[in-house]
Structure 1
Amino acid sequence: MQEFSRRSFLRAGTSLAAFLPFATACAPSSVLGATSAATGSMDGIRMAELISTGAVTSSELVEAAIGRAERVEPKINGFATETFAMARKRAETSPTGVFGGVPTVIKDLQKWKGAPTFYGSRAFVDNIAKNDDVFAGRWREMGVVSIGKSTSPEMGLISSTEPVVTGPTRNPWDLNRIPGGSSGGSAALTAARVVPFANASDGGGSIRIPAACCGLFGLKPSRGALISAPSSAPIEISVKHAVTLTVRDSAALFAAAEAPKSDLAKTGRIMGPNKRRLKIAYAPDAPNKATLDAETRSAIEKTADLCRALGHEVIDWKQPVDGLEFQDKFLLFWAAGAAQFVQDASAFSGKPPSPEIVEPWTLGLAQRFLSRQDEFDAAVAYLKAYQTEYASWFDDFDVLLTPTVSTLPPAIGVQSPTGDFDEVMKSVTDFVAFTAPMNVSGAASMNVPIQWTDSGLPVGSMFSGRRGDDGLLLALAYELEAAQPWISRVPDIIKT
């Protein structure tokens, strides 16, 4: 792809400077007032603005981010690999782009040229990326400076980030709890204010789940909305984007990564809320019968009340689907990916599949597929039919409101990939009861961190739409962010 100079960006009207007045106008006052390079209490757009005006250099912001990383990393373990030397060298070149010079991290499931890519697995510890992945390459064109690769569970296959290869990543809000997965390292590092946003991906909830656990904004884009490599999967469930401190960062990242060719209409850069009042279906009950804890149920009720207070119509609703049947078919599809990964890990390492190179959770999923692979085609047919069923729900309303996850983040170890397979499966499927339908349907969905427990833990609220409703959700997110800003909330670990 053509590389653009700062001058050509300005001439084309696509530079940060071209939209900063509009982005600033819609930002909460707590965002506008956040300017401390030392603490990281500002978003990526603010950082890029300071760089573009000459108030600070990329090297200064990157060095400050590295300093923050060195202070909190011993507590949270969010890096699979630190690439500080590479980051310092890149920052010195004053990279241009929408986020020119802004520090970030790239998820360990993404290739970033010159950096290791473990895929969260011991089998790939010697794997050095020769090139960027397609999506990561677009981020490089935006001008970001990656200071490291963030931790992920093995191949992103579980909702906790406790891979054997790097050890457990911890939630900055409570170090005894998980940060979610699979983008757990990205979420932990962003919540700890090491970086303002981080690369993430979502195949079953892996942007929204850690965003909920760590008090961040997390948009799962619609299938096909953002640039991606070609896929031969019968259903493409995974998409790539980010976890962010603010809505405006997510919106700007989204616009800069839109696919050049798609059957979806271009969303463009969403700058703020709109005046349209929405009909919101409020469905707090898990379709697979998982039980919500009291704090999660209280929080989602408060979110429904907030939407009413903002003038939206909120109706009570129940998902018309057999959640246990959907779960069974989705897990078989998910397990097929695990089976393929086991083969890939064996081929790369030159060792036979065993707990020596692949985690028990991954092996258990692979065995689940192998024992039922004659049912795979029927499961795919079910999931494809589900896409139409899901889309039909929105004939009667605009947006679906549910919890993001069913409980507060579990303790470290409860969802360990080395634990008893059946016990871990029960914990995982109950915890992530709400997120997978949007991956199957290809729909837009987002976690908005507007609720918190009395003890200071974030509780996610998930808003979902049809495929292609990314702009609708971002506009709603701006409104919610303005009503109940969250950026001023910071974990205690960065106050000490």
Structure 2
Amino acid sequence: MKRITRRGALLGGAALGTLAACGQPDAGTSGTPAPVEPPADPLTTGLPPAPAGWIDGTDMAARIARGDVTSLEEVNAAIARAEKVNGEINAIVTKTYDAARAEAGATPAGPFQGVPTFIKDLHDWKGAETWYGSRAFKGHMATADAAFSEKWRAAGVVVLGKSSSPEMGLMASTEPLVSGATRNPWDTTRMTGGSSGGAAALVAARVVPFAHSSDGGGSIRIPASTCGVFGLKPSRGQLPAMEGGNPPPVDISVQHASTISVRDSINLFRAAQVNDGTFAPIPDQVLPVSRRLKIGFTTDAYAGTPVAPETRAALQDVAELCQSLGHEVVPYTPNFSGQEFLDKFLLYWAAGAAEFAQDASRYSGKPIGPDIVEPWTLGLAAMFQARQAEMEDTIGWLRNFQSVYEAGLAGLDVLLTPVTGSPAALIGDHAPTVEYETLMQRVVTFAAFTAPMNVAGAASMSVPLNWTAGGLPVGAMFSGKQGDDQLLFELALELEQVRPWAGRLPPVCAF
């Protein structure tokens, strides 16, 4: 079977023919990296007291390398943590505990030698099942690593299993029919966001220090915001993403991680960076930003959808924090039509859903319909089928968007916006069985800020700087241009120093 990816599903978006037997949704339903060392004192000064026994992946790798602890001990401890909390958060789709223990016994080589983690269920890890969040692929075994997985295997991580994702990552909430809703460690009646919802939940609950995540329209940053963890979406081309074959018409999806510490994100980025000459390698030492930045700021959604008062208040607080640090914060008004962007992006997204439905049918041997593909996916596929004549114009518009987006940042270093239109919604509000038009409105209102950076190929991150009075995290999104990854890391390190978050724990916590 060909490897299924959201990127691959978009390959044929412009040329897909009429969707065969498309069932309609029921209206009611390079070389080895150098070892990672703990950072210099400037990076740890001011960090909060960690929960007893908790360390980040960088520190864990260093302790394993020194012989203070074995990889097997860390893996067994992580398995125990997973078993302690997964019944409450439902973030693990498949478990590879026996294989993990075997690998850990040999202490894998690499900068993250022996550190336990999870791989998102959209991505192949040899010897583990990949369901793509779909009933059609339940039980499918990956026989080879995906390109990004190869980098993480070389880095020496030990994979404990697959973290949950919505079907093909097509939703901003992780409530797939195949494995059930993933619940937020801060409030288990709330969703985790999507599509890297399982990864963010496992990291937030301190099961593992970091977990693989991917982002095609906000899928790293949205769960990072709703779960109170750090999530950077890399620039297009910085880290491996292609799974073979021709590139998609518009390359929107990237791979990286959900983490607690910024330094883990930096070190994982360095270990996986392509380094093909397009971008400068991330240096061995990244320090908090020294120059003062000009930051464009808005709390208005691009397409005019409503933004919750607590989200606006949280972002206003972050803007004031940045000003107190000496950064210049100025109003930002987008130079593009948010409604036009939304219309073009959703059609392109729908093309991916349509091809995924065809892949699901081929793999399962069943016709496309609600017994193998979720109602939300079917609704998107039907949308594409009705509008496929518009694809050539849509692709042209999206290809030109990077230059438009970057022109709008002239004179600015970064943007500051919310990640989502509100804190995490209740479980069920974004379920794939909600009536399609109702769900569409909820999705575009919630996932109101992230997709432009995917189309522009820009670096963007969610930083966990605020919580509501009810205890729900509200991430702040800082975005730059393509290639601004190091700048965002530097800013994140400064924010982590002045408003640390690692010691803030959710009610559902493995420690």
Q: Which amino acid aligns with 2:255?
A: K
What is the letter of the counterpart of residue 421 of structure 1? Y
Hey, what does 2:75 align to over in structure 1? 62
Q: Within 1, Cα distance between the matches of 2:291 and 2:270?
A: 21
Please say if 1:26 is aligned against 2:43: yes
SS of the residue 1:30 aligns to: coil
- Equivalent residue in structure 2 for 1:131, among 123, 144, 149: 144
Would the aligned equivalents of 2:236 and 2:458 in 1 still touch at CA under 8 Å? yes
Q: 2:126 aligns with which of 113, 123, 140?
A: 113
Change in CA separation of 1:137 and 1:495 when aligned onto 2, cut-off 3 Å: closer
Bigger Cα displacement from structure 2, 258-267 vs 467-476: 258-267
CA contact (8 A) 1:82 1:148 kept: yes
Do the aligned partners of residues 71 and 223 (structure 1) sit closer, same or farther apart at CA in structure 2, a change above 3 Å counting?
Answer: same
**Which residue of structure 2 lines up, in the alignment, with residue 403 of structure 1?**
418
Alignment CA distance shift 1:205-1:270 (3 Å): farther
AA paired with 1:432? Answer: A
Where structure 1 has 5 or more consecutive residues not aligned to the other structure, the ranges are none
- Alignment of 1:223 with 2:240, yes or no, is no
8 Å contact kept, 2:136–2:372: yes
Question: Does structure 1 residue 493 correspond to structure 2 residue 511?
Answer: no
Aligned to 1:306: 321
Aligned to 2:226: 213
Name the SS of the counterpart of 2:423 in structure 1: coil
Alpha-carbon displacement from aligned partner over 1:443-469 (angstroms, at most 9, x marks no partner): 000000011112221101000000000
Given that 2:335 and 2:404 are in contact with CA atoms closer than 8 Å, whether structure 1 keeps it comes out as no
Q: Deviations over 1:371-427 (max 9, x none)?
A: 000001111111112111001122221100000111011100111111100111000
Q: Indicate which of 163, 185, 197 corresponds to 1:184.
A: 197
Residue 283 of structure 1 contacts residue 319 of structure 1 at CA under 8 Å; is this kept in 2? no
**Counterpart position of 1:152:** 165
SS of the residue 2:191 aligns to: coil
1:42 is displaced (CA, Å) by 1.8
| Correspondence 1:448 to 2:463 | yes
Percent pairwise identity: 52
Q: Distance in 1 between matches of 2:443 and 2:77?
A: 36
Q: Are 1:432 and 2:447 counterparts?
A: yes
Partner SS, residue 463 of structure 2: strand
Distance 1:334 1:291 in 2: 22
Kept in 1: contact 2:51–2:503 (CA 8 A) = no
Deviation at 1:36, TM superposition (A): 4.4
- Do 1:225 and 1:262's aligned partners in 2 also have CA atoms closer than 8 Å? no
CA distance 1:129–1:310, shift in 2 (3 Å): same
CA RMSD of aligned residues (A): 1.4
Shift of 1:93: 0.7
Distance 2:306 2:50 in 1: 38
Residues 15-94 of structure 1: pairs in structure 2 closer than 5 A: 15-17=35-37, 20-22=38-40, 24-30=41-47, 34=50, 36-37=52-53, 41-94=54-107
Q: State the one-letter code of the partner of 2:171.
A: I
Is the partner of 2:318 in helix, strand or coil? helix
CA distance in 1, matches of 2:390, 2:285: 43
Gaps of 5+ in 2: 1-29
Instruction: Give the counterpart of 1:175 among 163, 188, 209.
Output: 188
Moved more, 229-238 or 369-378: 229-238
> What is the TM-score with the length of structure 2 in the denominator?
0.92
Q: Is the 8 Å Cα contact of residues 224 and 262 (structure 1) preserved in structure 2?
A: no
Does residue 198 (structure 1) correspond to residue 218 (structure 2)? The answer is no
Change (3 A) 1:452 1:347: same
**Following the alignment from structure 1 to structure 2, what is the Cα–Cα distance between the partners of residues 92 and 196?**
20
Instruction: Write out aligned runs for 1:248-397 (5 A).
Output: 248-269=263-284, 271-397=286-412
Q: Does 1:141 align with 2:154?
A: yes
* Equivalent-residue separation in structure 2 for 1:118 and 1:480 (angstroms): 37
Read off the aligned partner of 2:36 and give its amino acid letter.
L
Superposed CA offset, 1:414-441 (max 9, x none): 1111110011100000111100000000
Query: Can you list the C-alpha shifts for 1:253-292, whole angstroms capped at 9, x where unaligned?
Result: 0111111325233333452213110000011111111111
Q: Does the 8 Å CA contact 2:460/2:479 hold for their aligned counterparts?
A: yes
Paired residues of 1:28 and 1:481 also in contact (CA < 8 A): no
Report the AA paired with residue 27 of structure 1: T
DSSP 3-state at the match of 1:81: strand
Structure with the higher fraction of residues in helix conformation: 1
Q: Which amino acid aligns with 2:50?
A: A
Q: Which segment is superposed worse, 44-53 or 432-441?
A: 44-53
Instruction: Decide which moves more: 201-210 or 271-280.
Output: 271-280
Please state whether the residue corresponding to 1:240 is helix, strand or coil.
strand
Aligned length: 480
8 Å Cα contact 1:118-1:124 kept in structure 2: yes
Matched AA of 1:26? L
Contact 2:46 2:498 in 1 (8 A): no
Equivalent AA in structure 2 for residue 482 of structure 1: Q
C-alpha distance after superposition, 1:188-208 (max 9, x if no partner): 011000000000000000000
Q: Distance in 2 between matches of 1:314 and 1:491?
A: 31
Residues 366 and 257 (structure 1), Cα distance of their counterparts in 2 relative to 1, 3 Å cut: same
- Equivalent AA in structure 1 for residue 195 of structure 2: S
SS in 1 for 2:88: helix
Q: Distance in 2 between matches of 1:388 and 1:267?
A: 24
CA contact (8 A) 1:270 1:471 kept: no
* Counterpart position of 1:244: 259
One-letter amino acid of the structure 1 residue matched with residue 360 of structure 2: A
Name which structure has the greater RCO, CA cutoff 8 Å, separation 6+: 2
The whole-number CA distance in structure 2 between the counterparts of 1:48 and 1:199 is 17
Contact 1:235 1:380 in 2 (8 A): yes
User: Mapping of 1:94-109 within 5 angstroms?
Assistant: 94-109=107-122
